Structure 1
Amino acid sequence: MTPSSQINYIPDQQDIIYIDFNPSVGEEIRKRRPALVLSSQNYSRVTDLAVVCPITSSEDNRLKDFFIPVSGASTVHGYINPLQFHTFDYKKRHAQKVGLLPTSSFIEAKQTILDLLE
């Protein structure tokens, strides 16, 4: 995406974006990092919000059994952490699209969250 098209960007499911997770406290994930967009573009358009899961490069994490490897998104490497999903104002946090996650990995991340909420 060119910088001018980023201005009008509206996050959509399966997008991989960079977004700022700060401020954070305690065990919350922090800093500007890649994230997987879970919410639909329609949701983002109506609310100016996006529901995301952070992507971490940390392989040595006590929660790593729940992590989902990012595959097929050549610019981002790491693991989707479905245990810390967030809702953010994507405009105020300067979201920038950097890739697209394959459908199979997206379904796995979504199912993990659904399992947690049941």
Structure 2
Amino acid sequence: MVAANLSTQRVPWVPQRQDIIWIDCNPQAGREMRDIHPFLVLSPRIFNDKTSLIIGLPMTTATYNVDNPFAIAVGRVGRKEQKISYVLCHQPKSFDWRVRKARPHPLKKLANTSFEEVCACLNQIIQLA
């Protein structure tokens, strides 16, 4: 009986690297994003779980990003308009995902090739590798 109870217990959701989640960016200041937006998680699950923080990049469908060299187009989203979604590599952020009540985005996870492109663009800015 105990074994059956253990197998039916759910593991709590924790964002992991490459996940796309919803996050509330408020409060914001200056030119930072505000309100609830998709967010690409860069930090690994173990870090996110232990610290309640995530490190990542905001996403948007704002069309003015078509000419932004630090905005990587990662596909089309939306049911009607099919807008292009951009990852903003020039705006790395850290959020307390638990306090901000983050939740999974319907897109779930960024494709490997797009994630590699985002990481390469971010590396041009911060030159870690």
- Category of TM-score, reference length = shorter chain: 0.7 to 0.9
Mapping 1:53-64, distance limit 5 Å:
53-61=57-65, 64=68
Aligned-pair RMSD on alpha carbons? 2.5
1:95 corresponds, among 102, 117, 122, to 102
SS in structure 2 of the partner of residue 28 of structure 1: coil
Bigger shift: residues 101-110 or 60-69: 60-69
Alignment TM-score, normalising by the size of structure 2: 0.77
SS in structure 1 of the partner of residue 22 of structure 2: strand
Give the equivalent residue in structure 2 for 1:46: 50
CA distance in 2, matches of 1:85, 1:63: 19
CA distance in 1, matches of 2:67, 2:40: 18
Q: Tell me which structure has the larger Cα radius of gyration.
A: 2
Write the deviation string for residues 12-60 of structure 1: whole angstroms up to 9, x where unpaired. Answer: 0110000001101101111101010111001111211111211011111
For structure 2, the residue ranges without an aligned partner over 5 or more in a row are: 1-9
Give the equivalent residue in structure 2 for 1:85: 92
Alignment TM-score, normalising by the size of structure 1: 0.84
Q: How many residues align?
A: 113
Matched, 1:12 2:16: yes
Richer in strand (by share): 2
Residue identity over aligned pairs, in percent, reads: 31
Question: Which protein, 1 or 2, shows the higher relative CO under an 8 Å CA cutoff with sep ≥ 6?
Answer: 1
Are 1:13 and 1:39, in contact at CA under 8 Å, matched by a contact in 2?
A: yes
